[in-house]
Amino acid sequence: MAEKILIVDDDIDSLKLIGLMLQRHGYEVAAANAGNQAVNKAASDVPDLIILDVMMPDMDGYEVTRRLRANPTTRSIPIIMFTAKTLIDDKVKAFELGADDYLTKPTHPAELASRVKAILSRNTAQDGDEDGSKRNSTVLGVMGVKGGVGTTTIAVNMAAAMVQSGETPILADFCLGQGTVGLSLGHGQASSMATLLSRAPNEISARAIEGQLVSHQTGIRLLMASTRPKEALLSYAPETALEIVNTLRSLSTQVVLDLGNHLNMASGRVMRTVDQLLIVIEPNRVALTMARELFQTLDAETIDRAKLNIAVMNRSQSSIQTPWQEIEQALGQEIKAIISAAPDLAFQAVEANVPIVLFRPNSITASQLSKLAEDFRVG
């Protein structure tokens, strides 16, 4: 049976546009154009999701949310606030009252559809957990053996390839002070990860993380770090990083973590909870030496070799690179993927703020990255 969505907005045109878009995606739609009407319909129909405008004449969206959360019948219905109010205080107030997501108008229909799908999928998964079934999810950590090997490029493109496969992944940037995920996708500088890591472990919740997530036009949800040097000086509890990862697991079936290019207390702790860890190297002597030392450290820390994987990223076309057989022999590990050199394509994709797999989907490099993502998908 189709999932039912209640749309609440005093603008009749908005009701029609959103309703038609959702119906095209296969959802059953109900509508209300006033706050009191919304509260009554939610209680009688108990929809699977409510899309709620804030500014309405009889009762604003905040009061509607407060009443829905106070009623046992409607308390657990997910709510997406959809409004022209753009101040951060408005967003904070919405989450404090119990909203599950917050979108500002105008929003691209694809982004709204992506948010709706993500929340409904999460709600279905949580219902399954209550019934005793286990939710399938994969957390993939991506780490480079040194800077400049393409760690972020691989993380971004794997998340984008997962979107192409019908998923709604979360891409989390743990590179405080060196976070380029947001910059590479045109979202500028954001300190969302630093904001969360500044909190105590018991302050990390799904709602707290949802308040920091940003949706990219591709459908990837981003938890970003910035390149501001002061972020790199942030002191935080490794347990907070671990709690963030565990909570991200509950928010999406596919989570990709950009762990940067060095091992530290937090990334060392996170590595133990990821399902798979992808180590990115270049086919040269320096990177191979650093990779060998990293693998020795991971062995000493008893990180399970079964979840370690190697991706060789060719940054330039050269006939004097280290052969892949030599890399496998030196590390005692099979190579998962070899990504062809495409420096011009990589540059053009970053300038366009679009991942390679979407910017040039028929290229050899895009095919290799998509295949790598497919190997890690749940399903």
Reply yes or no on whether the pLDDT at 23 is more than 50. Answer: yes
Reply yes or no on whether the pLDDT at 135 is more than 50. Answer: no
pLDDT for res 14: 86
- pLDDT band with cut points at 50, 70 and 90 for residue 70: confident
87-110 confidence digits (pLDDT tens): 667 777 787 788 888 887 777 787
Reply yes or no on whether the pLDDT at 11 is more than 60. Answer: yes
- pLDDT band with cut points at 50, 70 and 90 for residue 196: very high
- Burial label for 126, CB within 10 Å (0-12, 13-18, 19+), is middle
pLDDT for res 130: 44
What span, in angstroms and rounded, lies between the C-alpha atoms of 124 and 114? 15
What's the mean pLDDT when you consider all of the chain? 87
Higher pLDDT, 131 or 349: 349
Reply yes or no on whether the pLDDT at 302 is more than 60. Answer: yes
- Whole-model pTM: value is 0.67
- Which letter, b or e, does each residue of 323-357 get, where b requires 16 or more Cβ atoms within 10 Å of its Cβ? eeeebeeebebebbbebebbeebbeebbeebbbbb
Task: Using DSSP bridges, classify how beta strands 4-8 and 335-339 pair: parallel, antiparallel or unpaired.
Answer: unpaired
- pLDDT band with cut points at 50, 70 and 90 for residue 133: very low
Is the torsion defined by CA of 123, 272, 285, 374 positive or negative? negative
- pLDDT band with cut points at 50, 70 and 90 for residue 57: confident
Structural contact between residues 356 and 154, judged by C-beta atoms closer than 8 angstroms = no
* Residue 99, token pair as written in the block: 């909203």
Which distant-in-sequence residues (6+ apart) come within 8 Å of 273 by Cβ? 139, 242, 245, 246
Structural contact between residues 77 and 47, judged by C-beta atoms closer than 8 angstroms = yes
147-168 confidence digits (pLDDT tens): 989 999 999 999 999 998 888 8
- pLDDT band with cut points at 50, 70 and 90 for residue 129: very low
pLDDT for res 293: 93
Tally Cβ neighbours within 10 Å of residue 57: 9
248-299 confidence digits (pLDDT tens): 998 898 999 999 998 877 788 888 889 999 999 999 999 999 999 999 998 8
Higher pLDDT, 208 or 86: 208
Owner of token pair 């890591």 = 197
pLDDT for res 123: 64
pLDDT for res 127: 53
pLDDT for res 98: 81
pLDDT for res 134: 40
- pLDDT band with cut points at 50, 70 and 90 for residue 239: confident
Of 198, 236, 252, 218, the C-alpha closest to 355 is: 218
